[in-house]
Copies of this chain bind each other. A is one copy, B any other.
């Protein structure tokens, strides 16, 4: 059975006239006659009683026509809804973001994203890298903002911007007097995040420490880490986007001797169909953060 034939049926039932119904359907009268007859044969019931001046729906037709109307209406609804979904820039976009980035990046890009992609319903999801990748592969996220490369043929990524690290010091720390701090100088009393945060490993690597850090404290979040630094427990390497929050906490920031930092990337499934939305989101973020690396090395945002 064909939806087209059902539309023909409705047209004939409405007009009670094959010729006019055919015209309404945009087909010739013979075509409609033939299709109608085929439908009757398929259903095994007479749908219309052909009189000399009128074609009148039979009782069987009356019994069926409600279902026919619903079926055709649903088909139209499919087309209408699809038309509404037509724009890949529209609809829900679930974006995973690592915890050391989300609170500092989102306030910067929410506005520009809304301006550039008003129909996109952005749903941020904050979690650590491994969780984000798992959810990304499980189709529970559409893309993710990470500070690491992704591997595997099912995922791809693209760098959006470079985020330098800054030395974060308590105001009374000996290094606070220097204009520039060498990463290795931070190593003795560096504080890092808990396991699972990519920033933890990146900070340790930047300052030349191995993974063995039995005596160091481990903060569950960057916010906590900043509080610990401000309280004089030690130093840390801070992603530049968090500079504002650190300064508010009374922490002294100093550029590093090298251009150590991390690269924020957007990652997605290679099979993800809404590449345009993906590129647009990535583009807006990259544009907003353009030139950030240069300015941020001095603590300016």
Give A residues with C-beta under 8 Å from B: 1-4, 6, 43-46, 49-52, 56, 58-60, 63-64, 67-68, 70-71, 74-75, 77-79, 81-83, 85-86, 91-92, 139, 153-154, 269, 271-274
Contact status B43-A78, CB under 8 Å: yes
Q: State the Cβ distance, A225 to closest chain B Cβ, in Å.
A: 36
Contact status B45-A78, CB under 8 Å: no
Can you give 30 contacting A-B residue pairs, CB < 8 Å? A1-B3, A1-B75, A2-B4, A3-B71, A6-B75, A43-B86, A44-B82, A44-B83, A45-B82, A45-B85, A51-B271, A52-B153, A58-B273, A59-B91, A59-B92, A60-B82, A60-B85, A60-B91, A63-B81, A63-B85, A64-B78, A64-B81, A64-B82, A64-B85, A67-B74, A67-B78, A67-B81, A68-B78, A71-B71, A71-B75
Contact status A272-B82, CB under 8 Å: no
Identical copies of this chain, number: 2
Contact status A43-B273, CB under 8 Å: no
User: Please, how many angstroms separate the alpha-carbon atoms of A273 and B56 in the complex?
Assistant: 11
Q: State the Cβ distance, A39 to closest chain B Cβ, in Å.
A: 10
Contact status A1-B78, CB under 8 Å: yes
Contact status B78-A139, CB under 8 Å: no
Option from B71, B154, B269 in Cβ contact (under 8 Å) with A78: B71
Contact status B1-A49, CB under 8 Å: no
Q: Which residue of chain B is the closest to A78 with respect to CB atoms?
A: B67
